[in-house]
Structure 1
Amino acid sequence: QRDCHNYIKMLLRLNSTHLYTCGTCAFSPACAYVDVQRFSLERDAAGKPLLEDGKGRCPFDPEYKSTAVMVDGELYAGTVSNFQGNEPTIYRSQESRISLKTENSLNWLQGEGRGWHGSGHCLPAAGRHGDDDKIYFFFSETGKEFDYFENTIVSRIARVCKGDQGGERVLQRRWTTFLKAQLLCSHPDDGFPFNVLRGVFVLTPGEQRWRETLFYGVFTSHKGGLGGSAVCAFPMRSVQGAFAGLYKEVNRETQQWYTDTSPVPEPRPGS
């Protein structure tokens, strides 16, 4: 019965006058606007709270994790999009633009709804370097590229571009800039791995110094391994270097992953 209460999973500043909040609402997620001055829900002419469908923005089950960031009035959420909690998704929703999400049929994301740990927005200085605003997500999932282990948990950082409009003929209403890379955290002396991400903090010095951004992650060892935890820091230059590196692809016949060393197409996928 406790699971049927409304568990608040998101509370973000929308603008100077309103907050945006989402809750599980007894396994029927919904979102609402909060007037900051009165700290009460916005209501319609009949006096009923103005509610929006929370699917893709908030999990159904209070046990599932989620993360979200509000950028220029647009919501970017990492959550699960179904009741069973086995369809993780990165979703953008806003009335003035096309909603975008990851493609579930291609398994861009693996695992269940307990893997989301954080998100952040990095704003390049306007008109410099040709960079678009980037939205980053941090999560744990099953590493399908490790065919010699079963259910290996790996930690990831994913990136999408704020200016992404989706595809025209393929990937319609889907991200065309989605990329993900593995986060590696290990002991500096013996290389003992801490591969399960538990939490993230994003430290950005400011718009003009966005390249100095640091991502701090709290990690633990894999289930069944030795106890212990670690904090690892990932500078923006390392993250950019990873996303500018070689790709991995999967052979659809053998389901084996391999590193693609062929020339990178232009424009670069995910840019």
Structure 2
Amino acid sequence: MQRGYIFAGLATWWWFTWYLLATCDATKGSVPRLRLSYKDLLATNRSVLFLGHRGILDFRSLYLDEYRDRLFIGGKDTLYSLRLDQTNMDAKEIYWPPLPGQKEECFQKGKDPMTECANYIRVLYPLNRTHLLACGTGAFNPICAFIYVGHRGEHVFSLDPTSVESGRGRCPHEPNRAFASTFVGGDLYTGLTADFLGRDSVIFRTMGHRSSLRTEMDQRLLNAPKFVAAYLIPDNDDRDNDKIYFFFTEKATESDNKGRAIFSRVGRICANDAGGQRVLVNKWSTFNKARLVCSVPGPDGIDTYFDELEDVFLLRTKDGKSPEVYALFSTISNVFQGFAICVYRMADIWEVFNGPFAHQDGPDHQWAAYEGKVPYPRPGVCPSKTTNQPSRQYSSTKDFPDEVLHFARAHPLMSKSVYPLHRQPVLVKTNLQHRLRQIVVDRVEAEDGQYDVMFIGTDAGSVLKVIALQRGNFAAAEEVILEELQVFKAPIPITEMEISVKRQMLYVGSRLGVAQMTLTAQRKRSCMGQSTTAPSWSASPSHPRLQCNGLFTGLQRSYEMR
């Protein structure tokens, strides 16, 4: 049996190698057309760095407030407010260490006083017109507070000491523990491990006018998850149907590999979930999840899977409907290491959640689609006008029959998986010298059509600016790396990125600090009668000629015309 697994692994590896070679002609763009060093970016004013008032920020969180034209940054024991029009000037600081005694208690429990026993600010959201919500690790004792930031046009910044309260369930205990959250209508939805030991993996709702809810401690719901992202994504114009989507990886209970396999998931809950009246009291009653598949199709049905979810970016459309989900995956095996980016349509995600539930008759039985009668209202739907029938009205999940809640508890997993557009990645990278960590996307209307420009952050302090040209429904996408930008001098992992289409800026965070970068370079010279860009022509004489290529110049003009 073991030899069979080895043979299958080698067969997959040989086929995947052939796949990469076969698509070599389509990936000639894998060499960056423009490579800018850290010094180049600073010298040409393409990038501006903020390292904090003490020379190192120990960055943890970022909130881009385009309404106030402010950038809020959370670090170790500190919060910063920066004016977007003058990032290096007028930076205001709040010093917010752990509460008295918390640092000593953290040290006594065996945590590192230098790297763990501090208040690392990890949650930043707008609370109302004048305040932010901020939460930090509090030396393994999470705390939250309200930050006064004033009205639009003002630049004030102060912490309200009377608002400080426990942040448990809102912020992780650990500085580096993965988590995901979103703030909607005064409610904070958070996926995290909520205890000191990091064992209680849970999705919480706290703070707002709705009742506090959490997931049950049940491996069928969440099995050692790593939360990556959370978003409110409306199903339709009925706000009662609004759902919160969580993207995460976890140990797969349905896997044949005895729970050792890691699968990526999309899970969702209704924003108006109130739990049950007798069953699932103060627990989520609408939680469902499905597998996200990102794979390269192989011979005889043996696909190469990218199962470890690294980052997610929600590309919203102008009309606010049917956004697309860009997901960055990795895979690490004994055979090869690689990364892939897959794009998912919300219509395909909705179709899977409206499909059959996964079911297992017993621990020794195979998983299959549930073929019995599904109770009404269908588990996972929200109480709304769409749900209600004239003869049966449900104004709350507390009105749902116990039969529905028992079924929801026993069947959180959907039977079908979510597949990406064209059932394959838009980008595949293998055997890189660095890991890919973060992704944001900008949709650009160019002269010859629409392009999705991907900005990909690495663990070497650099950002890749990439487009993938799809030549057909089944053909491999053609990858073009427009730029490779060394944002930070040290090869440090990029941990967060935010994009401002309005300001044409990219905000890149690492432990060292935060960089504000223009999405494209400024005009500096003309090329054969056409204006183009040349941030550092001395670095490579061939770059100006490449800049004049139709695709590169067409995208450049599109950015400048915005």
Give the TM-score normalised by structure 1: 0.89
Q: Which amino acid aligns with 1:220?
A: S
1:42: Cα distance to partner? 1.4
Q: Which amino acid aligns with 1:67?
A: A
Instruction: Call closer, same or farther: CA 1:255–1:36 in 2, change over 3 Å.
Output: farther
Instruction: Call closer, same or farther: CA 1:251–1:62 in 2, change over 3 Å.
Output: farther
1:121 corresponds in structure 2 to: 232
Report the secondary structure of 2:116's partner residue. Answer: helix
1:188: Cα distance to partner? 4.5
Provide the aligned length of Structure 1 versus Structure 2: 260
Comparing 255-264 and 2-11, the one that deviates more:
255-264
Instruction: Call closer, same or farther: CA 1:225–1:71 in 2, change over 3 Å.
Output: farther
1:88: Cα distance to partner? 1.2
* Superposition CA RMSD, Å: 2.0
Report the secondary structure of 1:239's partner residue. Answer: helix
1:156 corresponds in structure 2 to: 265
1:69 corresponds in structure 2 to: 182
1:179: Cα distance to partner? 0.5
For residue 161 of structure 2, the aligned residue among 43, 54, 63 is 43
Moved beyond 6 Å, runs of 4+: none
Whose radius of gyration is greater, 1 or 2? 2
Q: Which amino acid aligns with 1:166?
A: G
Superposed CA deviations along residues 40-62 of structure 1, whole A, max 9, x for unmatched, are: 21132xxxxx2121111111112
Superposed CA deviations along residues 83-123 of structure 1, whole A, max 9, x for unmatched, are: 111221111012422101111146410115xx111011113
Instruction: Call closer, same or farther: CA 1:255–1:170 in 2, change over 3 Å.
Output: farther
Q: Does the aligned pair in 1 maintain the 2:252–2:263 contact within 8 Å? A: yes
Instruction: Call closer, same or farther: CA 1:167–1:10 in 2, change over 3 Å.
Output: same
1:126: Cα distance to partner? 3.3
Q: Does the aligned pair in 2 maintain the 1:122–1:204 contact within 8 Å? A: no
* 1:96 and 2:205 aligned: no
1:259: Cα distance to partner? 2.6
Q: Does the aligned pair in 2 maintain the 1:6–1:26 contact within 8 Å? A: yes
Q: Does the aligned pair in 2 maintain the 1:153–1:222 contact within 8 Å? A: no
1:203 corresponds in structure 2 to: 315
Matches within 5 A, 1:203-222: 203-205=315-317, 208-210=319-321, 212-222=322-332
1:109 corresponds in structure 2 to: 222
* 1:229 and 2:347 aligned: no
Q: Does the aligned pair in 2 maintain the 1:221–1:229 contact within 8 Å? A: yes
Unaligned residue ranges in structure 2 (runs of 5+)? 1-112, 151-155, 382-562
Superposed CA deviations along residues 198-256 of structure 1, whole A, max 9, x for unmatched, are: 000012225x542x211110001144441110110110001001111111134455476
Distance 2:275 2:167 in 1: 21
Per chain length, whose mean CA-contact separation is higher, i.e. which structure has more relative contact order (CA < 8 Å, sep 6+)?
2
Unaligned residue ranges in structure 1 (runs of 5+)? 45-49
Report the secondary structure of 2:296's partner residue. Answer: coil
2:477 corresponds in structure 1 to: none
1:125: Cα distance to partner? 4.7
1:192: Cα distance to partner? 1.3
Report the secondary structure of 1:75's partner residue. Answer: strand
For residue 292 of structure 2, the aligned residue among 161, 164, 183 is 183
For residue 260 of structure 1, the aligned residue among 370, 374, 393 is 370
Q: Does the aligned pair in 2 maintain the 1:9–1:66 contact within 8 Å? A: no
Q: Which amino acid aligns with 1:51?
A: V
Comparing 258-267 and 230-239, the one that deviates more:
258-267
Distance 2:216 2:247 in 1: 18
2:349 corresponds in structure 1 to: 239
Which has more helix, going by share of residues?
Answer: 2
Instruction: Call closer, same or farther: CA 1:231–1:95 in 2, change over 3 Å.
Output: closer
Q: Which amino acid aligns with 1:246?
A: P
1:168: Cα distance to partner? 0.4
Give the TM-score normalised by structure 2: 0.44
* 1:168 and 2:280 aligned: no
